[in-house]
Structure 1
Amino acid sequence: MPVDFDLTPAQRALKRTAREFAREILRPAAEAADALPDPQAAFRAMKPIYAQAAKLGFTTMFLPERYGGGGASSVDFLVAIEELCAVDPGFPTILLVNGLGLMPLLWFGTEEQRERWIGGFTADTGGEFLAGWAVSERGGTANFDHPSPSAGVQLLAEHDRAHGEYVLNGEKHWPCNSGGWDLKGADVSLCVVRTDRRRGGKEALAALLVERGTPGITYEVIDKLAHRTCQNVTMTFRDARVPEENLVAPGDGDLLINRTFTWSGPVAAIAAVGVARAAYDFALKWARTYTGGGTHPIIHHQAVGNLLTEIAGRIEAGRYLCWKAAHYMDTHDGGAHALGAMNKTFCADLMQSVVFDCMRVVGVNALDRRFPLAKLYREAAVFSLYDAGNLGMQRRRAWGVMAGDRAFTPDTFVDGEPLTFTKEMEGYGVLTERG
């Protein structure tokens, strides 16, 4: 079968629906919310838009049909996300984080956990349900797989066997969605915890499903430079009790982190492509009409034409790498650890430069808030920093695959060969010497 980059009729229809929703419904709401000084008010203002997205199936399309989801492929999800992010990348982050909070249950959870939480999410037709994903901490968690118990994740979950509960003490910084629409908590937040204060990250990490309204947790909203239409909070745990049946992946929390950020890598990458595409669309239209005080539009100047050509090429390359990574992930049951990481880092870094180059085309007018490039420049700054951070986790995971798997070659991905990610591939970069 030949390599085929054509969208199917269903994917084209999905693209049209997503583009119409983004331009007609999302855009006016996102522009108004982004201007609000209160970050929680900005997030709350998106709730009606979230409800409409739920009616269209965007909030659950990536989940299996077995649990009430749309059963869409990863490529399908990317097609929709690009259209939304070309208008506002903050709002689709809410959808992405729902996946970060629930997809791990497909790989590490019990059937009871899947039916309760994934089934509960897909049964919510009113657009209320939110899932949070809580990994990062104020001191940093890039070294989550460090062998020292004093490094990485420090949210401690002590097992109270007498009462069948885990008692949580510590803090999470930057979790998205976890505060909920009313700062009383998301319906559920998947929190990565340390269950043994004496062991390192490859042995002592797990996750706990923390339910809305759990006593002992407070939420403080973070005021951000960009992505203001989604919510990030600091969660503080003081003797918060969680039922032991909510435990996920005991001893394999490190693998859960890696697998989950592998799933999100192509999604974050296509979000960056969407932002870059929006910048390019504006710069191209500008160049076709703006004369700069001359007699002809500036697109007729060689410097402008050459730069626009380079920008267009980078966007095309980034998009197709996203599709490749998503297709590989679908084909190999999520095993795109290295390719997903390379995809996210390539697009996030590259597309930041695309937005800046578009600003160079437009010139000083790019700073005018009446035009979209000022906001897009703020949004572009996010992509290299979030979703496991390009330097913090993403590149290190790809490095671990290349260093730890002798079967990896430059032909692995073009030939579609499978790769299995193991604990032996973790830890690269956390120590000067590997034991």
Structure 2
Amino acid sequence: MAVDFTLSRSQRDLKRRAREFAREVLRPVVERAEALPDPQEAFRATRPAYEAAYAAGLTTLFLPHELGGGGLSQVDFLVAVEELCAVDPGFATTLLVNGLALKPLLWAAPDELRDRWIRRATGDPTGRFLAGWAVSERGGTANFDHPDHRAGVQLVATHDRARGEYVLHGEKHWPCNAGGWDLQGADLTVCIVRTDRTAGGTSALSAVVVERGAPGLSFEVIDKLAHRTCQNVTMTFRGVRVPEENVFAHGDGDLLVNRAFTWSGPIAGIAAVGVARAAFEFTLKWARTFTGGGSAPVIEHQAVGNLLADVAARIEAARYLCWKAAHYLDRHDGQGQALAGMSKTFCTELVTQVVNDCMRVVGVNALDRRFPMERLYREAAVFPLYDAGNLAMQRRRTWGVMTDPGYTPDVFADGDPLPFTRSMEGIGTVPGVR
């Protein structure tokens, strides 16, 4: 049977191991970290769980076996991510961003640069290796592929040929992990930079590996509403010098951004499913026992039963859309930009509705911080905004693919390949102009 949603024995084992780690190791750490008012301290407090996750192989599941990683498919990775996010999506985001930084090295870096950093990521004896991914800037980079050189990415890398280096000036805003455990930097941060000051975003961007402790680089931690156990910073570059061999994907940074957020799309989607599931699990238990002052548990009332039935259906639908997108990416070497964007936007907007409906069932007690609903409400608010925001990169990429003559309403249902090309970029960057 070609269409089969049955988990294999190894996937069931992976799910069990990830759930045990999330509930037994991660949960007590997160409960302490969440209570800390300082965002950097909250992030640092998760390090024991991170080291345990590293020892269990959870931080590099998505990297190939031959380079020391777990060798998991995208579908397999989603199975593990849902379990982690049902306990804490912030911690899982730290792991996800490792992938956003390291996967581009697999796709586009020269062998020496790729192998050096991937093997460091998978062979760190301390178990603390962190990778940062830096695209967003304070002025916004939703239009990173804008045809005007004055728009989009403005972190500039100037080539100093005499010294064999690139010199970086500018700022990145919101990158995750990039500050490292001690605000001296992640082990590496992959930054999207402008290497041509005169060209538009589809030919002027490249990627550069910035190493920990680079002179001229400073960090300021952002204090967030939610996902408090992951770190976001503003990075300021003042004449930061990097070896020219650390620059890769010359002129193809736009395609790298698109592919990276395609990889992460269904992962962010399944993260939202994990949070939705956590809200549903708590609410279902509540509804089975809480009477609201009546003579029977509230689940016996038709209004509550119907609402919970809808919540359960939404979660199932969202999960399978993520699995479908991941399966498509596995089959077509990461090409599936539109479907990945659909899974990210659909699921991350659905979670806010699910959590809100669950709070309606729990009632005013949902506001009590002794219960998880208040936190889940905050966490749900993050998903439509992060990982290439839904009203920005994610929907615009899907829109661009749909304008291509090769796109049909059957293409994803049939599993046919649809490679992403530059002709699909740029849509909407200049309103009214295609």
How far apart in 2 are the matches of 1:137 and 1:334?
Answer: 26
Q: Which amino acid aligns with 2:429?
A: V
**How far is 1:242 from its partner?**
0.7
Distance of 2:367 and 2:413 partners within structure 1: 42
Match of residue 217 from structure 1: 217
Give the equivalent residue in structure 1 for 2:113.
113
Q: How does 1:7-86 map to 2 (within 5 A)?
A: 7-86=7-86
Separation (CA, whole Å) in 1 of partners of 2:2 and 2:96: 31
Structure 2 counterpart of 1:374:
374
In 2, the alpha carbon distance for the partners of 1:127 and 1:28 equals: 20
In the TM superposition, 1:252-331 aligns within 5 A as 252-331=252-331
Does residue 177 in structure 1 map to residue 142 in structure 2? Answer: no
1:167 aligns with 2:158: no
| Equivalent residue number for residue 4 of structure 2 | 4
Instruction: Name the % identity.
Output: 70
Are the equivalent residues in 2 in contact too, given 1:219–1:234 (CA < 8 A)?
yes
**Which aligned segments of 4 or more residues in structure 1 are displaced greater than 4 angstroms?**
none
Structure 1 segments unaligned to the other structure (5+ residues) = none
Secondary structure in structure 2 of the residue aligned to 1:408: coil
Q: Please report how far the alpha carbon of residue 407 of structure 1 lies from its aligned counterpart in structure 2 after TM superposition.
A: 1.6
Q: Which runs of 5+ in 2 are unaligned?
A: none
TM-aligned CA deviation for residue 116 of structure 1: 0.5
Q: What TM-score comes out, normalization by structure 1 length?
A: 0.99
Looking at structure 2, the residues matched to 311 and 422 of structure 1 have their Cα atoms a distance apart, in angstroms, of 37
**For 1:222-262, what per-residue CA distance to the aligned partner results, in whole angstroms no more than 9, with x for missing partners?**
00000000000000000000110001111111000000000
CA-CA distance at 1:2 after TM superposition: 3.1
String of CA shifts for 1:263-303, please: whole Å, max 9, x gaps: 00011000000000000000100000000010000001100
Residues 55 and 125, structure 1, Cα contact 8 Å, conserved in 2: no
Which residue pairs with 1:234 in the alignment?
234
Partner SS state of residue 416, structure 1: coil
Equivalent position of 1:408 in the other structure: 407
SS at match of 1:208: strand
Other structure's SS at 2:236 match = strand
CA offsets per residue over residues 383-423 of structure 1, 9 Å max, x none?
000000001100000100001x2121111011000011111
Retained in 2: the 8 A contact 1:29–1:45?
Answer: yes
Indicate whether 1:417 and 2:396 are aligned: no
**d(CA) in 2 for partners of 1:336 and 1:362?**
39
Letter in 2 for 1:412: V
Aligned to 2:352: 352
Displacement of 1:200: 1.0
**Offset, 1:106:** 1.3
Distance across 1 between alignment mates of 2:330 and 2:66:
17
CA RMSD of aligned residues (A): 0.7
Q: Distance in 2 between matches of 1:408 and 1:125?
A: 47
SS in 2 for 1:199: coil
* CA deviations over 1:315-356 (Å, ceiling 9, x no partner): 000000111100100000000100000000000001111000
Paired with 2:432 and 2:148, the residues of 1 have a C-alpha distance of 14
TM-score by length of 2: 0.99
Structure 2 Cα separation of the partners of residues 132 and 432 of structure 1: 32
Q: Is the contact made by 1:262 and 1:337 (CA closer than 8 Å) also made in structure 2?
A: yes
How far 1:125 moved relative to its partner? 4.2
Distance 1:432 1:7 in 2: 45
Taking the aligned partners of 2:411 and 2:165, their CA distance within structure 1 comes to 45
CA offset digits 1:37-89 (Å, max 9, x no partner): 00000000111100100111100111011211110011111000000000010
Q: What SS is found at the alignment partner of 1:162?
A: coil
Q: Using the alignment, how far apart are the partners of 1:228 and 1:422 within structure 2?
A: 36
**3-state DSSP of counterpart to 1:381:** helix
Look up the SS of the partner of 2:382 in the other structure. Answer: coil
- Counterpart amino acid of residue 104 in structure 1: P
Quick one: distance in 2 between partners of 1:3 and 1:374?
38
What is the letter of the counterpart of residue 340 of structure 1? A
Task: Please give the secondary structure, in 2, of the residue aligned with 1:95.
Answer: helix
Q: CA deviation at 1:205?
A: 0.5
Instruction: Tell me, in whole angstroms, the C-alpha distance in 2 between the residues paired with 1:12 and 1:280.
Output: 21
Give SS of 1:69's match. Answer: coil
2:399 corresponds in structure 1 to 399
Equivalent pairs counted in the alignment come to: 434
Aligned-residue offset at 1:126: 2.9
- Which position in structure 2 is the counterpart of 1:103? 103
Paired letter, 1:424: S
Aligned to 1:143: 143
